[in-house]
Amino acid sequence: MKIVRSPRYPAISLVDAVDKIKIIFSNEHRSPMMPVVAADHLGYSGLNGSSMKVLSALKKYGLLEGRGEELSVSNDAITIIADENVKDQSERIDALERTLVGFDLFAELNDKFSVNVSEKNIVAFLTKTGFKPPAARKAACSYLASVVFVEEARRNYIDADSCEIENLNESVAKISPENTIDGAVSEHSFTTLSRKVADMRQETFALDTGEVVIQWPSRMTKESFEDFSDWLEILKRKVRRTVDDSHQ
């Protein structure tokens, strides 16, 4: 008797997938690796059913790329990791949205339902399309957790942008005329601003078309420096797209 299986769906949610690709990236960065090495970094004892399902999910999401005996962390994965704490997260949000629909099933659900769809609604739909009830519930939960993850990242980015404006207004208020003495910045405001400057370093590079200014903390951990280095590579690619090749 032939066993009827449910259609394929990710073994893990996008939230878990990002956590796992961070572990692989912290060990290998951009270096190519054999699947067994990636599995070992994730704590599995070799290639087995469980580890293969996770690696397959990472590939379906587009976080791992390659085939056969050579895998590597994808550019989208690096963007998601490197841009996690930067001010402009537009590229990170784009990468997260691409990974969400990297799996065919999630792309189908994303096209059919709105963000606020219920789990029961998705389970009913999946059951009608050939899923067994337990598998339908697991797939629905995985999809909804992934959607919430992407939506929270987008919302936090928007909220952080709003906070940035509010903080800027507060900073301006600190050095406004009522907080100054004879046009000079008050001692409290000066101390606050000086402390911020003292905690940062800055370099300016003059170009014929303008200046490039980069700031970074005066102290950072080894891990932070590695993330910063990867971010610079991403920034170089981003800047490259603005170069006008018509003027040599």
pLDDT category of residue 69 using cuts at 50, 70 and 90: confident
Domain range list for the chain? 14-157, 199-239
How many helices and strands (H and E) does the chain possess? 10, 6
**pLDDT tier at 103 (50, 70, 90 boundaries)?**
confident
CA–CA distance, 42 with 44 (Å, rounded to integer): 6
Answer whether residue 115 shows pLDDT above 60.
yes
Strands in 16-143 per DSSP E: 64-67, 70-73
Query: Is residue 187 very low, low, confident or very high in pLDDT (cuts 50, 70, 90)?
Result: very low
Q: Which residue has the higher pLDDT, 31 or 114?
A: 31
pLDDT of residue 168 exceeding 60:
no
Residue 186 pLDDT: 43
pLDDT of residue 227: 72
pLDDT number for residue 10:
78
pTM, rounded to two decimals = 0.60
pLDDT band for 247, please (50, 70, 90 cuts).
Answer: low
For residue 6, what pLDDT is reported? 61
**Mean pLDDT computed over 195-223:** 70
Beta strands in the chain (DSSP E): 64-67, 70-73, 180-181, 184-185, 200-207, 210-217
User: What pLDDT does 176 receive?
Assistant: 43
Q: 216 - beta bridge partners?
A: 201
104 vs 68, more confident: 104
Portion of the chain with pLDDT greater than 70, in percent: 76
Q: For the chain, give the percent of residues with pLDDT over 90.
A: 29
Q: How confident is the model at residue 201 (pLDDT cuts 50, 70, 90)?
A: confident
